[in-house]
Structure 1
Amino acid sequence: MVSSAELVQLLRAERVMPIIRSTASEDAVAIGRTLIDAGFRVLEVSLTTPGALDAIAELSEDPRAEIGAGTVLTATDVSAATAAGASFMVTPAVTASIEVSAAAGIPVLAGALTPTEVLAALERGATAVKLFPAEFGGPSYLSALRSPLPDAPIIPVGGVDVESGHEYLRRGALAVGVGSPLTGTGPVDLTAISSRAAAFRALASAP
């Protein structure tokens, strides 16, 4: 399992973390494999996906990428996701599962929006903070948030496309989490995902 320090280093290098939500486990696996083949090395699979644990188990067998479990709410979620092979946890808010993960040495990206929530997440042991929903305030809000908290490792999530992703990174985000602007909506189109992946991968080398 990756350590918290290693995950932060990997996210800083990768700059983009795809978030997979699907209506079926097999679709999540197909999307994940396509993204790994495209070069992504850190991926999140939301537990809201039916059969998410099976998808995590399959994808975690690929040594090229670290697979995290998203929408983690409880200690039971942490245990189940860890057993399935998840390398890290992602929460949608400040929950008790943050402390459960931290106590077990499992990296956790904790959802938060306000300065109070960001500090609460970090105090509970979060490896980094998932700024969610980031579209609530956009890149300018990230700048305002980082003014009193310049050292907080923050990953904006929610409505992040290539243009806003570049702006978040320019304003000091550790990385950005990207869902449907990368993976699409409706029927799974792996060719389209591969095409969009190239544009998002380019953010890793953007100034």
Structure 2
Amino acid sequence: MEFLSSLQTRRLMAIVRGSDADAALDTVLTLVRSGIDLVEVSLSGTDALNVIAKARAKLGPGALLGAGTVLTPRDVLRAADAGAAYTVTPAVTEAVAASRALGLPVLVGALTPTEVATALAAGATAVKLFPAGQGGLELLRALRGPFPDVPFVPVGGVDAATGRALLAAGAVAVGVGSPLVGRAADGDTAGLTDRIAAFRSLAGEAS
């Protein structure tokens, strides 16, 4: 899987984190089968590694399924064993080098210019601009000055309107958790279909 080209093509990565492993798995499958096929399963969710493994078994080897909140080399190894095709970190940690050593693409969390430069030097495939909720648009515009060629993926507090603006400002993609998933990964699927349609429309407009 070419992770960067997938980000450039899909423009949207869903983030699934929940307290109910069965509901989280159902959410992953629903997202993918509804056309949002770039999905990160956060390791901070309940039984996340089994969610990844079961989703991989059901979706096959080509699914754009990754592990998020990856902090340590052990996390990387366990995520890879479960079938994650890429890793996502909240910051520049030892997990970046461990991911690269295994040949896994890695989306590395950064917020400041120094952190962006450090993430790139560590081997980031793309930079996760995090948290990108309040002030994220201005921050993205500012960072693209000294880093015009860096593929930025804003994450954190990104709703449909914010996502649209971030993509228009040059983000390669956006990562979206609760504004898209809601509480589906906890078992409450109310409104999920409508939110999926809204975010698919956003990604389509930006393509």
| Match of residue 120, structure 2, among 104, 117, 122 | 122
Q: Percent identity?
A: 50
What residue in structure 2 maps to residue 76 of structure 1?
Answer: 74
Runs of at least 5 residues in structure 1 that lack an aligned partner in the other structure: none
Q: Which range is displaced more, 76-85 or 134-143?
A: 134-143
Distance 1:185 1:56 in 2: 18
Query: Does residue 38 of structure 1 match 2:37?
Result: no
Count of paired positions: 203
Deviations 1:78-104 (A, max 9, x none): 000000000000001110110111122
- The CA deviation at 1:194 is 1.6
Secondary structure of 1:116's aligned partner: helix
What residue in structure 2 maps to residue 48 of structure 1?
Answer: 44
| Match of residue 14, structure 1, among 5, 10, 28 | 10
- The CA deviation at 1:60 is 1.5
8 Å CA contact retained: 1:47, 1:69 = yes
8 Å CA contact retained: 2:141, 2:169 = yes
Distance 1:47 1:37 in 2: 22
Query: Does residue 141 of structure 1 match 2:148?
Result: no
8 Å CA contact retained: 1:70, 1:90 = yes
- The CA deviation at 1:204 is 2.2
State the TM-score, normalizing by the size of structure 1.
0.94
- The CA deviation at 1:136 is 4.2
Q: How does 1:55-66 map to 2 (within 5 A)?
A: 55-61=51-57, 62-63=59-60, 65-66=63-64
What residue in structure 1 maps to residue 95 of structure 2?
Answer: 97
Extract structure 1 runs of 4+ deviating beyond 6 A.
none
Distance 1:141 1:110 in 2: 17
State the TM-score, normalizing by the size of structure 2.
0.94
8 Å CA contact retained: 1:47, 1:71 = yes
8 Å CA contact retained: 2:106, 2:125 = yes
What residue in structure 2 maps to residue 172 of structure 1?
Answer: 170
After superposition, the CA RMSD in angstroms is: 1.3
